[in-house]
Amino acid sequence: MAAQERRVPLVNFNKEYREVGDEIRQAIDRVCESGWYVLGEEVKSFEREFAEYIGVDHAIGVASGTDAITLALKALGIKEGDGVVVPANVYPSAFGVALAGATLQLADVDPRTLNINLETLKEAVNQNTRAVLAVHLYGNPVDLEGIANFCKENHIALVEDCAQVTGAFYQGRRVGSFGDAACFSFYPTKNLGAYGDGGMVATNSGDVARKVKLWRMYGEEARYQSKLIGHNSRLDEMQAAILRAKLKYVDKWNQRRREIAQKYKQGFSGLPLEVLSSSETSQPVYHLFVVKTKDRDGFSDYLKRQGVATGIHYPQPIHLTESFLGLGKKTGDFPVSEEASATVLSLPLYPQMSEADVGYVIKTVKHYFTF
Ligand SMILES: *Cc1c(COP(=O)(O)O)cnc(C)c1O
């Protein structure tokens, strides 16, 4: 193929801002006029609206998705040295677990979805296991049924990492309503992204909700009445106001993501390119469109030359990441996660992508494998 015909980025925030800018500016203005910037009416309203959207009783805004994981685990009573199962192939999730003081118990993943499944979970569990962090990776719900039953039978807490999956359904219910707690991230690239950092813990347990609130601000029950040495992890009013405006668009945007994913799947069929699968009882939201290919470097270099941006989520499994070498695991311990880190590639997918962009990505990918 000759010269670049167009440039397709991985995400495009400018296009999104052009779509919803009026409402964003109104939200920001409302906060500025109120003169109240941290934990006020916007956060309260967003917590209520988000809980209703997910279909849970409580939602508590925090400073990030990482903090959501740490605070949810602490609220569930996880303490220093307790075992928490976490997938070996998901970079960001491991930090929230480690910062709760828990001992990471890495689980390998299903090669077809790159999510944990009941078998890989069982291999990771031992007597010390107190919680499982089920990460719904790339927007694709974990097959939760067997996992939820297993956790219940063994008195293990189930926490969902929903950072990449806001709005998805599993067996007719929104993901995030199945676990003892669910953790969301509003990092800008996520399906519901803030204009900065933010996170949320969703739960049906009044007790967990109350404790997350303690942990998010100095352990305070009332101002200066500290019951435990808590964090300072709050969602600010500006982000909450922006997120309220964007929450109205998430379902529409997720629908567009599914359309694009469908076009990619059709366009790539027959190519030596493995597309991940999802369960029949779920409705994924394609946070990322990830393919697996042996010649990743050659493929991504070619796409780059043709103007198509790509990403790698994630280039290293947890046990081979320097900060987690203390877990004492080695190459070969989690083969599917290791293979994934060497073969996964994320292609551009965002709601404002034009038909021409989608067509260009398909044409470029096909061209690489055909010539
Ligand atoms: C983004 C992400 C996180 C961390 O969220 P932050 O808001 O960036 O702290 C955790 N888990 C997963 C799966 C993520 O994608």
Q: State the pLDDT at residue 285.
A: 98
| Cα-to-centroid distance, 293 and ligand 1 (Å) | 25
pLDDT tens digits, residue range 300-342?
999 999 999 999 999 999 999 999 999 999 999 999 999 999 9
Is residue 38's pLDDT more than 90? yes
Query: How far apart, in whole angstroms, are the C-alpha atoms of residue 8 and residue 301?
Result: 14
| Two structure tokens written together for 50 | 């988000």
Place of tokens 């880190």: 341
Q: Decide: 163 in ligand 1 pocket, CB within 6 A.
A: yes
Q: Decide: 164 in ligand 1 pocket, CB within 6 A.
A: yes
Query: How far apart, in whole angstroms, are the C-alpha atoms of residue 136 and residue 142?
Result: 5
Give pTM, 2 decimals.
0.97
| Cα-to-centroid distance, 82 and ligand 1 (Å) | 22
Q: Report how far apart the first and last C-alpha atoms of the chain are (Å, whole number).
A: 9
Is residue 225's pLDDT more than 70? yes
Place of tokens 């109240």: 36
Band (pLDDT 50/70/90 cuts) for residue 3 is: low
Residue 190 CA: nearest ligand 1 atom is: 1
Chain mean pLDDT for the chain:
97
| Cα-to-centroid distance, 91 and ligand 1 (Å) | 9
pLDDT tens digits, residue range 112-136?
999 999 999 999 999 999 999 999 9
Q: State the pLDDT at residue 49.
A: 98
| Cα-to-centroid distance, 66 and ligand 1 (Å) | 6
Strands 103-107 and 83-87: parallel
Residue 198 CA: nearest ligand 1 atom is: 7
CA of 222: how far to CAs of 71, 225, 294, 370, in Å?
A: 18, 5, 56, 66
- Residue to substitute in 73, 91, 162, 187 for testing ligand 1 pocket (most ligand atoms within 8 angstroms of CB): 187
In sequence order, the 6+-apart residues with CB closer than 8 A to the CB of 139 are 164, 165, 168, 191, 257, 284, 285, 286, 287, 288
Residue 136 CA: nearest ligand 1 atom is: 13
Strands 289-292 and 83-87: unpaired
* Domains within the chain, CATH numbers bracketed: 16-247 (3.40.640.10), 250-370 (3.90.1150.10)
